[in-house]
Structure 1
Amino acid sequence: MEWSPRPGESAVLAVTGLLLGLAAVVLDPLGRVLVGAAAVLLLALAARDRLLRPRLAAGPAGVVVRRLGGTTELPWGRLQVRVRDTRRWGLRSRLLELDTAAGPDDDGDLVLLGRRDLGADPGDVARVLRDLRPG
């Protein structure tokens, strides 16, 4: 199984970034900086979405997560899958938490992925991962 950001959302980011970049040309210097920075940010997010596909993949050996720093492999034997629900400033956030730490002294790997990273609800992805886990 594989999960990635939704292509439609990435396309909207890219088109909006291009439109903001074009709009920045006709603005005053301060507007050019602000709108240009927003355009660069949106285009960078769209490029990240495209480069890091699939973001999360589950196979027989474990889970593979693609990040800008490289690919991280998390073996099933050490993997703990949880969903973290938080509420901050009235907004609810759900994150898929993938942890390989065996104890308090073991650093392991901790990966947090949100709905946008996965293109699906983190709770649904956690259920699928638990079902795929051998044993």
Structure 2
Amino acid sequence: MTWSPRAAETAALAVVGLGLTLGVVLVDPLGRVLVGAGALLVLALVVRDLLIRPRLSAGPDGVDVRRLTGVVHLPWGALRVSVRESRRLGVRGRTLELDTATGVDDDGVLVVLGRRDLGADPGEVARRLRGLDPTRRL
């Protein structure tokens, strides 16, 4: 199973980034700096979305998380899957947490992915990952 940012969202971001790039010529010099910086940030998100596909993939030996610096492999035996809900400024958010730390002195790996990273609800992804885990205790 694999999860990635939705292609339609990435395409919409590309359109917004190109629109901002074209808008640079219509504004004053200070506006060019601000609009240009916004365009660069949005287009950087588009490039990131295209380079790290699929963002998360699960197989028989564990879970692979793709980052800009490479792929991190998280074996099933050490993996703890959880969903964290938070509320900031009145907006509720859910994130998927993949943790491999087993003790206090263990330098495990913590990966936090949101809905945009996964292209799906983090709770649903967590449920499916738990179903794929061959080491899961019933």
Do both share a fold (TM > 0.5)? Answer: yes
What is aligned with 2:35?
35
Task: Give 5+ residue unaligned stretches, structure 2.
Answer: none
What is aligned with 1:87?
87
What is aligned with 1:48?
48
Query: What is the percent sequence identity of the aligned residues?
Result: 67
What is aligned with 1:3?
3
The ranges of structure 1 where at least 4 consecutive aligned residues each deviate by more than 6 angstroms after the TM superposition are none
Task: Give 5+ residue unaligned stretches, structure 1.
Answer: none
What is aligned with 1:101?
101
Q: What is the number of equivalent residue pairs in this alignment?
A: 135
Q: Say whether residues 1:131 and 2:131 are aligned partners.
A: yes
Q: Given residue 89 of structure 1, which amino acid in structure 2 is its aligned partner?
A: L
Other structure's SS at 2:50 match? helix
| Aligned-residue offset at 1:111 | 0.1
Q: CA RMSD in A?
A: 0.6
Please give the alpha-carbon distance, in whole angstroms, between the structure 2 residues aligned to 1:32 and 1:91.
32
Q: Deviations over 1:62-90 (max 9, x none)?
A: 00000112110000000000000011111
Please give the alpha-carbon distance, in whole angstroms, between the structure 1 residues aligned to 2:18 and 2:53.
22
Compute the TM-score of the two structures, normalised by the length of structure 2. Answer: 0.96
Please give the alpha-carbon distance, in whole angstroms, between the structure 2 residues aligned to 1:126 and 1:27.
46
